[in-house]
Structure 1
Amino acid sequence: MGNCILRAICGKSSDEKIDSGADQQSAGANRISATAVGVSALAADLLHYDITNQVPEGLSQHVTASKKTQVNWYTKLLEAWREAKPPPKTSEEASKLIVDALKRHQKAHVEGLLNYYGLPLAQQTGSECATHPHTASTSKLKPDGVKYELNTLPVDIKCIPDGDTITVYVDATIPHESCKVPPEIKRASKEYTKACTAKNFQRVNNLRKTITDAGYRMVASQNGIEILAKKYRIRFRGIDAPESAMPYGKEAKEELVKLVKDKICKIYVFGDDRYGRCVGDVYCGKVFIQEHMLKKGLAWHYTAYDQRPELEMWEKEARRARVGLWAQKDPEKPWEWRKERRNKT
């Protein structure tokens, strides 16, 4: 079965040599476009498993299942891939294959596996695996207009400056992120690990600066090992929370901290704003953050940039209930507050 898996996805010729282990996976991922990385990485890992009976090392950072259980998954996935005619070519087809093959396994484990490969959470009738509540009523895997999806590492409280902006980090060792890491930063992260082991702290500091200046960071994973992570600044799509110096600005930040501190978020990114931040819809578990902040009266519907009727409805609910900032007689709009101060400056 061997080479057929990888050739079907990566377009390898029959006389091209197949590397083994992590080098094989990295090389395969870097040869193809980013949109196919998840499918290609899955194919490469299945090929590697077929040859060695070893599962990807990085997977344990995304699931809590034992190695024995992971081996069981890949046995089922390998069998499903062999039976698929034709084999998956798109991320949606690969997601469906994983969900169907592992439908008797825990939802969190299946989602962790999908996140590891950067594949969408596929819907399936009668299965627990579904999209987030905000989009579950449609048959689409992602909302219209989404450019890409981020699955974050636990959010640091220091990365929450106010009620509508956060900075998040994404594991840069997973396949769909790894292919975008500059080679010099990959080398620096490996040298950083070696320098830490050797307790060469001057070298550690120099490498840390190189990594940080490039928009990355070395963060501790669940097993205590530091991994390379990519930094993303996120602006919540469709809402505008009071600034810190405004009434209810402090309360908005505190509410957001309660929602996302030390938790993993899923973010659908729709584009960038003029400050270089990613504009996206943010989910933490089953909570759609924008919905929560609007219903709590801790944010305005930002109609200048987003006309979604559900956001308007959630703001009106809070207005009628006079909760949060709507307890004030005539609350000042944050965009007008910022404009006034810019004019004074």
Structure 2
Amino acid sequence: MGNALRFLYGKCYKQTASGDSDSLGPPYTTTASGVSALAHDLFNFEITSQVPEGLSQHVVSSRKAQAKWYGKLLQAWRKAKPPPKTPEEVARLVIQTLNRHQKADVEGLLEFYGLPYPSTLVEILSEVPTKLPEGVQFEMHTLPVDGSTVPDGDGINVYVNTADPRESSSVPRDVLLAAVRRSKARAKKNYARADELRQKIIESGYQVISIQNEEILARKYRIRLRGIDAPENSMPYGKEAKQELVKLVNGKCLRVLVYGEDRYGRCVADVYCNGIFVQEVMLKKGFAWHYAAYDQRIELATWEKEARAKRIGLWASSNPEKPWEWRKDRREGR
């Protein structure tokens, strides 16, 4: 079994033994979360081929069928890169893995572990591209995103390690020198000089980021999500759109496929987070419009249409204002 499941299993056992846990409802165990509960049972299934007692009270299929589910879930968890960590990620893994099974069984399994129901999740249909789609200029993989720097519902500020082969050859010499001198200044506890050099690095479009006690020189990129337009922060649902995007990307490493640059110098890109297409989530949850003037992808229009039909997010309003018209009115002083 992978280290992730071993870790979660140990965490679950420790919490149960200490009594510091929350009951999920099923009588067979108590755990701190549905994540560690399922990890515990998958770990146990690999060893014993047994499904948990009490599950049959929540599902309609036989224990033989249940064993097949756990085998599939075990394989899916092993293949997940990175493994699921939150209840939402685990629920989505369960739904996607058991999508051909009875709805009552899937919902019963989620209930058994106290995981979110399908009605509270957005069904994600897009697959992460295995090769670069036509039109992509370059691909980058970011350092973990700082959610506090997300400007709005369709923009993200990201950093890419300059050790990346694409970046390493293009770092300006003065930035490299400033980074070296800053490190030496800090070693001598000359923090005022170190701060001056850091500011010089920032002004050049780079940053020194501390991750796990290691300082990394990284290049900053401003990303504009391709094909969608979220309400501006001061518009109705603008703050909610920003909060949803922060929730999606905060602390996560992103895969960014860049198609070009807009007039503000931002990279226009498709963004993937833990295998999830970010624009798809924003559209399906009703936190963005399909920006049809710049992107004619049929799937984007379909996802917006689905959200409209459900009247969720900004579509709860009978006549929401289009963000591009709102911006035009402000430019013209209306």
Given the two structures, how large is their TM-score scaled by the length of structure 1? 0.60
Contact 2:81 2:274 in 1 (8 A): no
156, 180, 186: which one aligns with 2:170: 180
Displacement of 1:107 in angstroms is 7.2
**TM superposition shift of 1:108:** 4.6
Pick aligned residue for 1:236 from 205, 222, 225 = 225
CA distance, structure 1, for counterparts of residue 248 and residue 282 of structure 2? 10
CA distance in 2 between partners of 1:179 and 1:188 (Å):
16
Which amino acid in the other structure matches residue 286 of structure 1?
G
Change (3 A) 1:151 1:342: same
Corresponding position of 1:310: 299
Structure 2 residue identity aligned to 1:144: E
The residue that corresponds to 1:147 in the other structure is: 137
Residues 288, 106 of structure 1: CA spacing in aligned structure 2 closer, same or farther, 3 A cutoff? Answer: closer
Amino acid at match of 1:212: I
Compute the TM-score of the two structures, normalised by the length of structure 2.
0.62
Counterpart position of 2:45? none
Q: Secondary structure at the match of 2:314?
A: helix
User: 4+ runs of 1 displaced by more than 6 Å?
Assistant: none
- What residue is the counterpart of 2:321 in the other structure? 332
Q: What does the per-residue CA deviation read over 1:169-223, in whole Å, with 9 as the maximum and x for residues that have no partner?
A: 111122221111011211211111111111111210121121111100000123x
Are the aligned partners of 2:254 and 2:273 in contact in 1 as well (CA < 8 Å)? yes
Q: Which amino acid aligns with 1:158?
A: S
Number of aligned residues = 216
Larger Rg belongs to: 2
**Contact (CA 8 Å) 2:286, 2:312: kept in 1 or not?**
yes
Cα separation, 2, equivalents of 1:238 and 1:156: 23
Question: Which runs of no fewer than 5 residues in structure 2 stay unpaired?
Answer: 1-77, 83-123
Amino acid aligned to 1:309: I
Which residue number corresponds to residue 246 of structure 1? 235
1:258 pairs, out of 244, 247, 269, with 247
Provide the residue aligned with 2:205 in structure 1: 215
Does residue 201 of structure 1 match 2:167? no
Tell whether the 8 Å contact from 1:135 to 1:142 is kept in structure 2 after alignment.
no
User: Secondary structure at 1:344's aligned position in 2?
Assistant: coil
Secondary structure of 2:308's aligned partner: helix
Distance 2:302 2:81 in 1: 32
Distance 1:147 1:239 in 2: 19
Match of 1:280 in 2: 269
User: How far apart, CA to CA, are the structure 2 residues paired with 1:207 and 1:254?
Assistant: 33
Contact map agreement 1:135 1:143 (CA 8 A) in 2? no
1:56-71 alignment runs, 5 A limit: none
Within the candidate set 132, 155, 160, 1:170 is matched to 160
Distance in 1, Cα, partners of 2:80 & 2:173: 35
CA RMSD of aligned residues (A): 2.0
Deviations 1:220-245 (A, max 9, x none): 123x1211000000000000000111
* Counterpart Cα distance in 2 of 1:107 and 1:257: 22
Preserved CA contact (<8 Å) 2:127 2:275? no
Residue correspondence of structure 1 range 3-152 to structure 2 within 5 A: 108=81, 134=126, 141-152=131-142
1:289-323 deviation per Cα after TM superposition (whole angstroms, max 9, x unaligned): 00000000000000010000000000000011111
How far apart, CA to CA, are the structure 1 residues paired with 2:167 and 2:132? 19
For 1:213, give the aligned amino acid: E
Unaligned runs of 5+ in 1: 1-104, 110-131
